[in-house]
């Protein structure tokens, strides 16, 4: 099978496209004919070596996939050949990634694709929607009527948080950095969309909060959180969710934090158990089927362009120079 893989970490030009042996499903595993995969920032951190991990040799890139079950190994009862499935969680903890024509995935990390959803949409939603669902429900415990703030409402995680939080009945405030992206966030139904490039942003946010109340759940997608700015905007018993920025050493204003009973919550989606992720996947499938969640795909490329896809993801998330909104999806 053709696959995009590395034998050494480094820049995107280390990515090779070549034939690798077809994998065979073992007990509890499923062989998937891959229909589409999506790129996430973590793929680029693993490829570059920024996250040090012991990788299989060669290491196939990618966490997300959507495709069709070709074969099941012993002890798999949930899936049959021909079923359409999606998943994330590959490419870590010694597991091979997904950027290949076929992938073997443990059945516990696979979910059915709703009828009205195609492979590209399912792959585009995978990691970001499990992340958004875990953050909103398991960690952030968002309630209907609460005020949620999320930075980067057109980003992979941010756009999913906006849509799921609106569907849950929250008041949603978000930010973006171009006219197109601001318009996209408004189209998702956000109650207040702020241009983070403008100096008026904090005043506009302050006026909105003076009318509606302070923020109950702050979802920080940025790798450099600004807690002196965030903490005074929080309602009593508010929760601040941090999920990016391994090197960050933010300043922490303790007084306004503990005197308002605030909580600071960190999480990484890969830590959630198969059962926790399956419960979120069921909610995501319901949101995809109902149209409450519509993943935005910004760039479609063939698998052969995996190196270009990684460059684009780095321009978007790390260099912040990309006009791209939406996920980068590859088809083998
Ligand atoms: N802990 C976990 O489990 C987990 C899971 C998934 C992702 N992550 C991490 O979360 C981060 C976001 O991931 P992603 O896939 O959503 O990335 P992404 O699609 O590249 O989104 C990044 C977002 O940041 C916004 N942004 C950039 N500069 C900003 C600023 N100064 N103020 C406000 N917003 C700004 C961008 O907005 P514009 O495009 O409008 O500039 C964009 O919406 C990454 O660091 C990723 O590694 C963590």
Give the pLDDT confidence of 172-206 residue by residue, as tens digits: 999 999 999 999 999 999 999 999 999 999 999 99
User: Is residue 84, in this structure, part of any structural domain at all?
Assistant: yes
- 133 and 195 in a single domain? The answer is yes
Give 290's contacts (C-beta < 8 A, 6+ positions apart): none
Answer with the one of 269, 286, 311 that is the final residue of a domain: 269
- 249 and 197 in a single domain? The answer is yes
Rounded to an integer, what distance in angstroms lies between the CA atom of residue 174 and that of residue 90? 30
Mean residue pLDDT across the chain: 97
Give 94's contacts (C-beta < 8 A, 6+ positions apart): 54, 56
What's 15's DSSP letter? Answer: -
- 101 and 198 in a single domain? The answer is no
- 103 and 179 in a single domain? The answer is no
User: Is residue 281, in this structure, part of any structural domain at all?
Assistant: no
DSSP string, 223-238: SS--HHHHGGGEEEEE
For the Cβ of 135 lying below 6 angstroms from any atom of ligand 1, the answer is no
- 217 and 84 in a single domain? The answer is no
User: Is residue 14, in this structure, part of any structural domain at all?
Assistant: yes
For the Cβ of 196 lying below 6 angstroms from any atom of ligand 1, the answer is yes
For the Cβ of 174 lying below 6 angstroms from any atom of ligand 1, the answer is no
Residue 69, classed as helix, strand or coil, is strand
Range of the domain at 327: 2-113+296-331
User: Is residue 242, in this structure, part of any structural domain at all?
Assistant: yes
Where the chain has pLDDT below 50, the residues are none
Tally the domains of the chain.
2
Q: What is the pLDDT of residue 307?
A: 98
For the Cβ of 303 lying below 6 angstroms from any atom of ligand 1, the answer is no
- Give nearest CA residue, ligand 1 atom 25: 152
CATH number of the structural domain spanning residue 327: 3.90.180.10
How much is the pTM?
A: 0.97
Distance 252 CA to ligand 1 centre (A): 21
For the Cβ of 310 lying below 6 angstroms from any atom of ligand 1, the answer is no
Distance 148 CA to ligand 1 centre (A): 16
């Amino acid at each position: 099978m053709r696959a995009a893989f590395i034998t050494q970490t480094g820049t995107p030009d280390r990515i090779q496209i070549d034939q690798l042996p077809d994998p065979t499903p073992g007990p509890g595993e499923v062989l998937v004919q891959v229909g589409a995969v999506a790129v996430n920032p973590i793929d680029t951190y693993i490829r570059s070596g920024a996250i040090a991990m012991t990788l299989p040799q060669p290491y196939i890139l990618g966490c997300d996939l959507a495709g069709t079950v070709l074969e099941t190994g012993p002890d798999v009862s949930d899936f049959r050949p021909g079923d359409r499935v999606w998943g994330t969680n590959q490419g870590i903890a010694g597991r091979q990634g997904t950027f290949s024509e076929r992938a073997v995935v443990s059945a516990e990390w696979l979910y059915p694709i709703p009828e009205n959803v195609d492979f590209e949409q399912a792959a585009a939603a995978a990691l970001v929607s499990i992340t958004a669902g875990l953050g909103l429900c398991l960690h952030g415990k968002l309630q209907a009527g609460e005020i949620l703030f999320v930075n980067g409402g057109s980003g992979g995680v941010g756009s999913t948080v906006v849509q799921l939080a609106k569907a849950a009945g929250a008041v949603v405030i978000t930010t973006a950095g171009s006219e197109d992206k601001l318009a996209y966030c408004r189209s998702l139904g956000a109650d207040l969309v702020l241009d983070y490039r403008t100096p008026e942003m904090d005043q506009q946010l302050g006026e909105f909060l003076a009318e509606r109340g302070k923020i109950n759940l702050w979802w920080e997608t940025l790798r450099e959180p600004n807690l002196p700015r965030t903490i005074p905007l929080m309602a009593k018993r508010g929760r601040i969710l941090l999920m990016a920025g391994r090197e960050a050493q933010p300043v922490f204003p303790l007084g306004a934090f503990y005197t308002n009973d605030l909580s600071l919550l960190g999480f990484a989606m890969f830590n959630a158990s198969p059962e926790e992720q399956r419960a979120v996947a069921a909610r995501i499938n319901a949101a995809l089927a109902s149209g409450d969640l519509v993943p935005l795909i910004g760039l479609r490329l063939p698998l052969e362009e995996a190196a270009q896809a990684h460059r684009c993801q780095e321009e978007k998330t790390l260099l912040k120079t990309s006009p791209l909104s939406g996920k980068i999806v590859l088809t083998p």
